[in-house]
Amino acid sequence: EDQVTQSPEALRLQEGESSSLNCSYTVSGLRGLFWYRQDPGKGPEFLFTLYSAGEEKEKERLKATLTKKESFLHITAPKPEDSATYLCAVQAHSNYQLIWGAGTKLIIKP
């Protein structure tokens, strides 16, 4: 069964304190792994897609990496505006739906 697990459930950091969020997955043939950001009361906002192990992508203070079993979202010197829930999802070769983790709620204190 395709499955995504994210950890930790919540993470509180001081402004400027770098850290990483984890997304572990099992999927029968990975088509792509996706990272989204979700603010309260809003829909998920697309951040990155990773297609193969070893791939990395960066956007501002965020960097996503992928191995055959997990993905990390590294956040460098975060700011309070980076506070949000970060969701990870996988798409299998066999279909087009996204299978989601429960998310990591990130809080950055000024």
Partner 1 sequence: GAGVSQTPSNKVTEKGKYVELRCDPISGHTALYWYRQSLGQGPEFLIYFQGTGAADDSGLPNDRFFAVRPEGSVSTLKIQRTERGDSAVYLCASSLTKTSGGERKETQYFGPGTRLLVL
- Which residues contact partner 1 (rule: CB under 8 A)? 4, 31-32, 34, 36, 41-46, 49, 51, 87, 89, 95-103
**Euclidean distance between CA atoms 108 and 110, whole angstroms:** 7
Query: Closest approach of Cβ 94 to partner 1, in Å?
Result: 10
Instruction: Give yes or no for a contact between 11 and 22, defined as CB atoms under 8 angstroms apart.
Output: no
Query: Closest approach of Cβ 15 to partner 1, in Å?
Result: 25
Residue 33: CA atoms inside 13 Å, Cβ hemisphere, count?
Answer: 34
What percent of the residues of the chain are helix, what percent strand, and what percent coil, each to the nearest 5?
5, 60, 40
Cβ proximity to partner 1: between 15 and 45 the closer is 45
Query: Closest approach of Cβ 100 to partner 1, in Å?
Result: 3
Query: Closest approach of Cβ 8 to partner 1, in Å?
Result: 14
Cβ proximity to partner 1: between 22 and 32 the closer is 32
